[in-house]
Amino acid sequence: MAEHPKVLISGAGPVGLTLANELVRHGIPVRLIDKAAHRTDKSKALVLWSRTLELFDDAGYARDFVAAGVPAHGARISTGTEVVAEISFDVIDSRFAYALMIAQSETERLLEERLVAAGVTVEREVELTGFADTGSSVRATLARPSGASETVEVDWLVGCDGAHSAVRHGLGFEFEGSTLQSHWALADGHMSGLSPLDHLHIFWHRDGILAFFPIGGDRWRVIADLGPASGADTHPDPTLDQINELMARRGSPSIVMSDPVWLAAFRINERKVRDYSKGRVFLAGDAAHIHSPAGGQGMNTGMQDAFNLAWKLALVIEGAANPSLLDSYSRERSAVGDRVLRNAGLMTEAATLRNPLLQDVRNAILRFAAGFPQIRHRVADQLAEMDIGYPDSPLTARGTDIPAGPKPGQRWPHPLPARASGRRFTAIGPAALVAALEAKFPRLVTTVPEGDSLRLIRPDGYVGFAGTPGDIARAETYLASLAC
């Protein structure tokens, strides 16, 4: 436990663990609590997409995840009798051109082990029961199973505590959205009869969708639509025999599961808050947005919430940036959340069409569109979250002559230097100009003397400012608006 924590993080799932690791990497003392006695032993969220891996790589710890996971190089959509479309992940515009399949239990283990190595232990069976934002700090009440309670005062509170977030409830934020009127089955077990092994397999059968996701070795995740639901009714968990019968009917009799690790039925919720922050309190991950598992972007989006928030909190806590910098977090990430929610909903709607005529139309449209390499490329980049940007952010500079290459608000495609990653803005341009920016803003800027244009790359790898050497005064104004 940090001696004098600046940030209290409620929730030690993948998002809370990512945020804690990033803040600790900045040298910010944190306290991380979770009401569960143990981290999850379930596979849950299965994929780390390319953009998340890039952020991990810039932070210095992608290697551990790549070693523990299994790359998937594409997705195949078929009806069970014919292939409708194939999407290759090899075309993703990233140094990680694949989907890394890794069980959430492994993701959490790696993140927690890294945190422990940095001297921070997750405090388990500790529950946030209330908090008050005093304006200058946050006073939080914590409870343990013994009945003992504790009051802690911190500068900032972040709720990474999932769909039933106590922090969100404490803020009084509405979790707007609905529960889809359909039942779903999930099975995680050992499988035979699927090929190729490095692909996601999606069957659009007349009766409903059947999807397979590799976990490693002969272990796969299966998800299937079980049909309409009404109200808040629940469906019993499937049996292994039911899963095998469903796979034989919608996929192929040769596909067989044995030794199941996890069998469950579930409903899909699509919900989101409008604002991700209020005063000194923030929300990230499932506490702010939940949606269909279509696309596998939920955990990745939450982790990217954490990266976005971490560098901003760190610069403000260090006194290098004005607290107004934190206002950009909700604006940027809420817009991304809206987009992910919308895309996942559209994918789910397309996959669960019941009308045979509409199914045929859907298949024909996808088959035609998948014939164009540009469309396949765009779909792969969208899945991998490579096309996320912040064009409307208050941190995106406008009004300059934009040189060739990524524009303000877009992702910078190159790795950030280790001295800058997640810590400072990187000034890229003529040596004398970027050196002058670093001299004037030493706590905000590090430099890469390169090229004849002038760019400021945010700590999370997005372009904040782009112009010509003649725009040096505008670059200074941009940085001055952020600096304390």
122 is a domain residue: yes
Closest alpha carbon to 284 in 95, 9, 5? 9
Helices (H), 418-471: 431-440
pLDDT of residue 393: 97
The order of strands in the sheet holding 30-34 is: 123-124, 30-34, 7-10, 156-159, 281-283, 277-278
* 44-55 average pLDDT score: 96
Q: Examine the domain organization and report whether 484 and 401 are in the same domain.
A: yes
Q: Examine the domain organization and report whether 185 and 152 are in the same domain.
A: no
Instruction: Give the burial string for 116-151 (b: 16+ CB within 10 Å, else e).
Output: eeeebebeeebbbeebebeeeebebebbeeeeeeee
The DSSP letter of residue 40 is -
The 3-state DSSP class for residue 325 equals helix
Q: Examine the domain organization and report whether 28 and 123 are in the same domain.
A: yes
pLDDT of residue 185: 95
pLDDT of residue 418: 76
Q: Examine the domain organization and report whether 169 and 23 are in the same domain.
A: yes
Helices (H), 70-223: 104-117, 166-171
The first and second tokens of residue 264, run together, are 């469950």
* 50-77 average pLDDT score: 95
pLDDT of residue 2: 45
Q: Examine the domain organization and report whether 217 and 242 are in the same domain.
A: yes
Count of CB atoms within 10 A of residue 372's CB? Answer: 10
Three-state helix/strand/coil letters over 118-162? CCCCCEECCEEEEEEECCCCEEEEEECCCCCEEEEEECEEEECCC
Q: Examine the domain organization and report whether 343 and 318 are in the same domain.
A: yes
* 146-155 average pLDDT score: 94
pLDDT of residue 36: 96
Q: Examine the domain organization and report whether 129 and 33 are in the same domain.
A: yes
The 3-state DSSP class for residue 447 equals strand
Q: Examine the domain organization and report whether 18 and 107 are in the same domain.
A: yes
pLDDT of residue 419: 73
98 is a domain residue: no
* 226-230 average pLDDT score: 89
Q: What gap in Å lies between CA 320 and CA 318, rounded to an integer?
A: 5
Count of domains for the chain: 3
At which residue do the structure tokens 């400072």 appear?
424
Q: Examine the domain organization and report whether 257 and 196 are in the same domain.
A: yes
pLDDT digits (tens, 9 = 90+) for 369-418: 999 999 999 999 999 999 999 999 999 998 767 778 899 999 999 988 77
**pLDDT tops 90 at residue 81:** no
281 is a domain residue: yes
Q: Examine the domain organization and report whether 151 and 289 are in the same domain.
A: yes
**pLDDT tops 80 at residue 350:** yes
Domain ranges, residue 164? 7-46+103-178+270-349
At which residue do the structure tokens 């941009």 appear?
478
pLDDT of residue 326: 98
**pLDDT tops 90 at residue 102:** yes
Contact of 7 with 292, CB cutoff 8 Å: no
pLDDT of residue 400: 67
pLDDT digits (tens, 9 = 90+) for 428-468: 999 999 999 999 999 999 999 999 999 999 999 999 999 99
Per the DSSP assignment, residues forming a β-bridge with 30 are: 7
* 346-353 average pLDDT score: 91
**pLDDT tops 80 at residue 237:** yes
Domain CATH code at residue 327? 3.50.50.60
CA distances for 117 relative to 6, 110, 347, 412, angstroms:
19, 11, 40, 30
Q: Examine the domain organization and report whether 251 and 289 are in the same domain.
A: no
pLDDT digits (tens, 9 = 90+) for 1-20: 445 899 999 999 999 999 99
pLDDT digits (tens, 9 = 90+) for 249-296: 999 999 999 999 999 999 999 999 999 999 999 999 999 999 988 888
**Of 291, 326, 349, which one is at a domain's C-terminal end?**
349
CA distances for 461 relative to 43, 290, 340, 419, angstroms:
29, 25, 20, 13
280 is a domain residue: yes
The DSSP letter of residue 55 is H
**Of 293, 317, 349, which one is at a domain's C-terminal end?**
349
Contact of 326 with 155, CB cutoff 8 Å: no
Q: Examine the domain organization and report whether 295 and 444 are in the same domain.
A: no
